[in-house]
Amino acid sequence: MNKLAKHWRDAATVILAARAPAVQKTSHGPWTQNYDFRLLMLKRSSKSKFMPSAYVFPGGMASEADFSNEWCDVFNTDLQKLGRDLEPLSGPRPPMFTTQSEDQPSGSIVPNELAFRLCAIRETFEESGVLLAKSKNHTAPKKDGSVIDGSHSNELTIWRKKVDADASNFILMCKELQIVPDVWAMMEWSNWLTPTAAKKLGLNAGRRYETAFFLCCVDHLPITTHDEKETVKFGWLTPDEVYEDFKNEKLWIAPPQVYELARIANFSKYDDLLKFSKERATEGCEQIMPVISMCTDGRLSLYPGDDLYPSNPDYIGDRDPPLIIDSTIEESRGQAKNLNRMEFLGLNQVSISHNIVPSCGHIAPAKTDTTEDVVPHASL
């Protein structure tokens, strides 16, 4: 078990992209694509202890139920082999995939690769009513993700409430309805760990999460309903619509969502995003723990590969205070050769500076209003 992991909780989220008609772009932001897909964004309740009122991708904390051996009866296969089939073929593995989770009960044979996908699918069903699953008789992977239609049926509505009350009911639901969660369509995308300086700077209540980000593409816009508990609003939006509303202070999204939106903004075509996510997922991903630094006119969130990113980051938060830089954000950018950072002049005044080749076959974030030129790692 990773001894550091006791300082945070494991979580999983899914960037859910649905094919939709392309609409001529009318905004004047930095991303000029006419996107033929939409992303599901959910607004958290103002009563949430973590990121209240923020717009997020669906997801949440892992549960013991995600590691239950009862999943053997649902998938009717060797879960260890299934986990290996889902695992990237090469490249680095984040610690949350290679070490025992705090949520994993003794005797569990469910591999992390499977459990965190189950977590993301379960949480998506709870929060939005979108059930990423398929009939047990049709378990062979297909090109994109499967959605069980009829999210507003009385049967699924009842099950949704049961699953929200007790995560283990997700297993019972799958058994009774003879379905399996579509874990094959969940492409490993990134891995984020909450920065240690967040509490010291008053950026959240001190809760820290290591989150597996998956990307799943579905070929239509599924029926969606927020749960009026954890989430109070939903929207199927193009990447530029989310960014423009964020910049104009109509909504707020956390830095990892900004960064991942900027990566996805490179793709205007659903098929290109689907193809890239499947091919790239075989190369693994690195853990991203932002390191916060304070400049004279704002703050930086530094990511691996940036010249200012420490060689030995403080994962616990009891060693180093936030880094202080005696220069402006612009001056700091000019003093570095390798850039991988987010720059904050205000809560919604955010830009990304990135000029390194991304690791693990990933793609660089698309240019925002004030970013440096980026180096994409894909041919689009």
Answer whether residue 340 shows pLDDT above 70: yes
Mean pLDDT computed over 147-166: 86
Q: Are 182 and 222 in contact (CB under 8 A)?
A: no
Question: Which of 42-51, 64-73, 363-372 ranks highest by mean pLDDT?
Answer: 64-73
Q: Is the pTM of this model over 0.85?
A: yes
For residue 9, list its beta bridge partners. Answer: 209
pLDDT, tens only, 248-300: 889 889 899 999 999 999 999 999 999 999 999 999 999 999 999 999 999 99
The average pLDDT across 162-169 equals 96
Cα angle 90, 95, 98 (rounded to 5 degrees) comes to 65
Averaged pLDDT, 3-31? 80
**What's the pLDDT score for residue 369?**
62
- 57, 42 in Cβ contact below 8 A? yes
What domains are defined for the chain? 3-283 (3.90.79.10)
Look at 47 and 115; give whichever has higher pLDDT: 115
202 contacts: CB under 8 Å, gap ≥ 6: none
- Mean per-residue pLDDT for 119-143? 88
